[in-house]
Amino acid sequence: MSTFSKAVMVGSVLLWVGAAQATDGTVNFNGELTSSTCRVTASTSNQTVQLDPVDIGDLRNAGDVAGTKSFNIELEFCPPGISTVGLAFEGDKINQNGRLNIAPSGSKNVELEVLAANNVQNLRSPESSANVTTVREGAGRFDFEVRYYATGQATPGDVRSSVNYILNYL
């Protein structure tokens, strides 16, 4: 085989390999990510509720309450199809009475009591609480109050506690 023939054959093979690797079409991918849950607004997701100072004289006896303060938890970007959302509190600071224990280094004989729609919430039994909101136009809001609750004669000191919450899609 002549050198010319060999060169033509090699050239033909190279053209064929190049043709086999040519672009013949395109595959396009389309999709969508959706949220199957609501989002808690940034301003109410992790918040600190500052209770007003109360004189211990207002909390002399077990069952005395004082210093009610309002707070809320707001939802946004709820996807279509979600019309009702529940909220339950949970955590190790919830005592057997359904109220919040405070830090042991602070005041004595006082707990924190949470209310929703003027009803005392038993935080140990969230399923019996009325913590439900209706979602409208992708948004909802839970309105609560918290107050000092005396278990005996309260003593002066700081009152600090915290509680976690979870959303339930009903």
pLDDT in tens, 95-114: 999 999 999 999 999 999 99
Can you give the pLDDT at residue 34? 64
| 8-19 pLDDT tens trace | 455 555 555 555
d(CA 157, CA 107): 4
d(CA 109, CA 99): 13
Residue 156 has pLDDT above 50, yes or no: yes
Can you give the pLDDT at residue 22? 72
| 12-69 pLDDT tens trace | 555 555 555 677 888 988 887 766 799 999 999 999 999 999 999 999 999 999 999 9
- Encoded amino acid at 23, one letter: T
d(CA 137, CA 77): 9
- Taking the chain, what is the end-to-end CA distance rounded to the nearest angstrom? 83
